[in-house]
Amino acid sequence: MLVRKLILFLCLFIVSFTEAVAQSAFAPFPKASDAYWRNQVPKAMRQDYIRLGKKYQLATWESIPDSAFAEFRKNGNRTNYEASCFLRRRQFACLVMAEIMEYRGRFLPEICKGLHYFLDKEPWWGVPAHYPKAHPDSSKQVVDLFNAETSSMLAWSLYMLGEEIDNVEKGLTERTYSEIRRRFLRPTVIEKQSWMRKVNNWNSWITSNFLATSLICEPSGSNELHRALDVSEACLRLFLKGYPDDGGCEEGAGYWDRASASFFESLWMLRAAASTMLPTDHRYVLTPAEEEKVAAMGRFISTMHIGNLSFVNFSDAKVHNVPNINIMFPYGAWLNSSHSTQPALQKVGLQLMQFAAYVANQYDYYRKPSTLFLKTGCWPTLGRELMLLSMLPQLRKSKALQPQTKEAYLQNLQIMVAGNRNWLVAAKGGTNGESHNHNDVGSFVVYRNAKPVIIDLGRDIYTAQTFSSRRYELINNRSMYHNVPLINGVEQHSGLQYHATDVQHTVSDSASIFTLDIANAYPKEAGVSKWQRTVMLNKKRNRVEVSEHYQAHDVIITLMCYGYPAMQKNGQLLLADGVKLVYDADKTTVAWQKVVMPEGMMKKQWDDNVYRIELKPKAEVSDIKYRFECTP
C-alpha cells in the first residue's frame, strides 16, 4: 500500500514538474507576481481595471440553459446564447485583470468559481452556429473560433496566476490544463480541420490562439509542443501565401483584427518564444518579400479609415469601428523597430503606432482603460491586453495621429480609396465570390468631411440565414441595396464567375480615376453586354463625378444615401452635409424611398436614416453622368 502511494506521489510530482516547466519556459511578459504591473501601470489605470473586476465579483456562474444552445437549430437565432456565453467570459477576464493589477488575492475565489464553471457547466466552449448538433456533447470537441478563444483566455489566466490559483485550490490549474488539451489542443492536431486549408479569418484567428495556448500549456521540448509548432507554422505559411499581396482583407475592414492582426499575433508569440524554448527549425523567418506583405496587411486598416473612426465598410464590416489598440500598437511597433533598413516598413509601423495612440486618446485609455478593454473582442482579450500593457511606456510616448488616405489602390481586391481636404471616395471591383461576399461589384461610397453621403449598409447581426443559401435575401447582401444598377429587373449574382473586367486606376495631380466594366457581374437574363463605370475624385473642381456608359435596357441606378434627399430643383437633390447630387434631368428621372431595415446592428449604426435613390435613364439613353458637389 505504501509503495502504491509512493508511486502515485511520484507521478503527481512529475506531472506538476512538467506543468511548471511548461509555464516557466514561455515568458512573453511578467507574471502577476512581478512588480511591473504595480509600478509601470499608472494608478488610475490599475484602479479602473480593479473597479471593473469589483463589478463582477458578485456575478453568478449559473449554467446557460440548454434550450438557448438549441435555439440556433430551431429558429436560427445565435444571439441569445452568445450573449450569455460572452458575458461569462467577460466577467472572468475582468476578474483576472483586476487581480493582476491589485494582487491581493481578493478576486481569486471568484476566479476559481469561474474556472469550475468552464470545466463543469459548459460541455463545449464554442457557439451553436459552429456545432453540428442542437445540443453540445462533451465527448465531441469541435474546434471553432470561440473554443479557441476560451482556451486561450484560460491559458493566459493560468500563465499569470497559476500558482496563486493553486494556493487557493490545489489541483485546479492542473485540471484546467488537462481540459484545455482535451477540448482544444488535441482535437486541433489529431482531427482534420477544414479551416487549416483556407485563407480567411478562421485560419489566422484559431492559429493565434492555438499557438499561444500550446506555448503556455505544452512542456518545453515535448513531442506535443513540437507537433503544435509544426501545425501552427503550416497554417501561417498557407495563410500568408494565399493572402493578397496588396494586404487587403476581402472580408471587410472589420475582420482586419482577426485576419492580418491575428497573423501578426502569431509572429509575435513565436518571436517571444524563440530565445527561450524554440529549436532553430521552428523559428519562423520571413523573407523580405513576405515582410513587405505583412506590412501591407497592417497598412490595410489605415487605408480604409475615413476619419473619426469611420471606415470604408465593403463586405461584412461596420462603418463605425474601434480598432483594437492592444494588437494595433504592437503590430506597428514591430514593423517600426524590426526593420531599420526598410524605411517603407518603418513608416507603416509608425502610422499604426500613431493611430493606436489616437484611439487611446479618444477613449481616455490612460485614465479609463476599461472602455477599450471591453471593446477588444466578443469579450476582453487577456493576452493582447497584457501585450499592450507590457509596452505601455512606448505607447504613452507615441504621437497621436489618425490616418487620412489621400491615394490608395489595392490591386488584388480592386479597391480604390482617394481623398482630399473635403472628400473621400472609395470604389470596388473584384468578384461576387469573396469571403463574406456582398453582391456589390462596382459599388462606391462617398463621404464629405468624414460624414456619410453615399453609403454601404455593411453588416448586420449574424443569424443562421447569414451563412446559408438564403444569404442573398438579406438586403445588405443584395446588389439592389448597393450603389450599382438594376438591369432589366435583374440584380447581380453571387459566385467567382461574376466579376469586374477591364479594371483601371489612374492618378494625376488633378484627379483619381477608377474605371471598370461591371457587365459580367450580372447573369445573362439581365441582357447587358457592356457597363463601363467611371468613378472620379476631381481634385481640381473639388467634387466626385460618376459616368455610366452601357449597352442595356430598363436600367435603374441605385444610390444608397444617408439622410433624407430633398429636391432642390430639377436636376439637383440636396443630400447630407450640404452635398448636392447633380444629374441631367433631360436624360434621367429620379425617385427615392426610405429603406426598411430589420431591427439590429445595421439599423442602429445608420440611425434608421437610409434612403434608396433611383436614377432611371430614359429608354434611348446609353450614357449618363452625375456628380456630388458642395457649394462653398
Q: Tell me, what's the pLDDT at 4?
A: 46
Q: What is the per-residue DSSP string for 222-245?
A: -HHHHHHHHHHHHHHHHHHHHS-T
pTM: 0.94
What is the H or E stretch that residue 626 is in? strand 623-629
Q: What is the per-residue DSSP string for 380-420?
A: --HHHHHHHHTTHHHHHHSPP-----SEEEETTTTEEEEE-
Q: Where are the beta strands (DSSP E) in 539-621?
A: 543-551, 555-562, 566-569, 572-574, 580-583, 588-594, 610-617
Which amino acid belongs to residue 13?
F
- Residues ≥6 apart with Cβ < 8 Å to 397: none
Which amino acid belongs to residue 514?
F
**Alpha-carbon torsion 378, 382, 386, 387, what sign?**
negative
Are the CB atoms for 458 and 600 separated by under 8 Å? Answer: no
Distance, CA of 234 to CA of 242 (rounded, Å): 12
Distance, CA of 351 to CA of 357 (rounded, Å): 10
Are the CB atoms for 218 and 225 separated by under 8 Å? Answer: yes
What confidence tens digit (pLDDT) does each residue in 490-501 have?
999 999 999 999
pLDDT band at residue 58 under the 50/70/90 scheme: confident
Q: At 574, is the secondary structure helix, strand, or coil?
A: strand
What confidence tens digit (pLDDT) does each residue in 108-159 have?
999 999 999 999 999 999 999 999 999 999 999 999 999 999 999 999 999 9
Mean pLDDT for 166-193 is: 98
What confidence tens digit (pLDDT) does each residue in 566-624 have?
999 999 999 999 999 999 999 999 999 999 999 999 999 999 999 999 999 998 899 99
List, in sequence order, every residue forming a beta bridge with 375; answer none if it has no partner: none
Share of the chain above pLDDT 70, in %: 95
Strand order in the sheet with 501-507: 501-507, 511-517, 530-538, 543-551, 623-629, 580-583, 572-574, 566-569
Cβ atoms within 10 Å of 293's Cβ, excluding its own: 21
**Domains in the chain: ranges and CATH:** 22-191 (no CATH), 194-297 (no CATH), 322-404 (no CATH), 407-629 (2.70.98.70)
pLDDT of 357 higher than 70: yes
Nearest alpha-carbon partner for 594 in 583, 605, 585, 606: 606
What confidence tens digit (pLDDT) does each residue in 503-559 have?
999 999 999 999 999 999 999 999 999 999 999 999 999 999 999 999 999 999 999
Q: How far is CA 297 from CA 228, 259, 408, in A?
A: 25, 9, 14
Cα angle for residues 423, 427, 433 (degrees, 5° grid): 155
- Residue with grid cell 432642390, as numbered in its chain: 568
What confidence tens digit (pLDDT) does each residue in 428-480 have?
999 999 999 999 999 999 999 999 999 999 999 999 999 999 999 999 999 99
Alpha carbon 413 to its chain centroid, in Å, reads 17
Q: What is the per-residue DSSP string for 318-362?
A: -SB----HHHHHHHHHHHHHS-TT-HHHHHHHHHHHHHHHHHHHH
Alpha carbon 567 to its chain centroid, in Å, reads 39
DSSP letter at 316? T
Nine cell digits for residue 442: 462596382
Q: Where are the beta strands (DSSP E) in 440-524?
A: 444-448, 451-454, 485-487, 495-499, 501-507, 511-517
The helix-helix angle for 145-168 and 2-25 (nearest 10°) equals 120
